[in-house]
């Protein structure tokens, strides 16, 4: 299952990433000063949540994947280096 993750750049220049899906009993968030750092933080959060669920004996969607989508400033900042 793939869910959308929105990446936004705030006025301070800090990026945030969050799931645009609320059918789970958890949420995931990431943040950073670059898009790459933000995605890495988001994916580390997913692994932390997966491990926490495992330790608690709860099921976690093992097939969970993501479609990262950018707001316009984040998109331009990410692709301006290409």
Q: Is 76 exposed, middle or buried (0-12, 13-18, 19+ CB in 10 A)?
A: exposed
What pTM was estimated for this model as a whole? Answer: 0.84
Q: What is the DSSP letter of 5?
A: E
Domains annotated on the chain, with CATH? 2-79 (3.30.160)
Residue 78 is predicted with a pLDDT of 67
Element containing residue 75 per DSSP (H, E): helix 72-79
Distance in angstroms (rounded) separating the CA atoms of residues 70 and 82: 16
| Per-residue model confidence as pLDDT tens digits over 20-47 | 888 898 999 999 999 899 999 999 999 9
């Amino acid at each position: 299952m793939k869910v959308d993750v929105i990446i936004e750049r705030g006025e301070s220049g800090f990026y945030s990433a969050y799931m645009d899906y609320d059918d789970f009993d958890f949420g995931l968030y990431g943040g950073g000063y670059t898009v790459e750092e933000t995605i890495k933080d988001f994916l580390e959060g997913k692994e932390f949540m997966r491990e926490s669920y495992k330790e608690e004996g709860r099921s976690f969607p093992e097939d969970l994947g993501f479609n990262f989508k950018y707001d316009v400033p984040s998109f331009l900042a990410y692709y301006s280096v290409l």
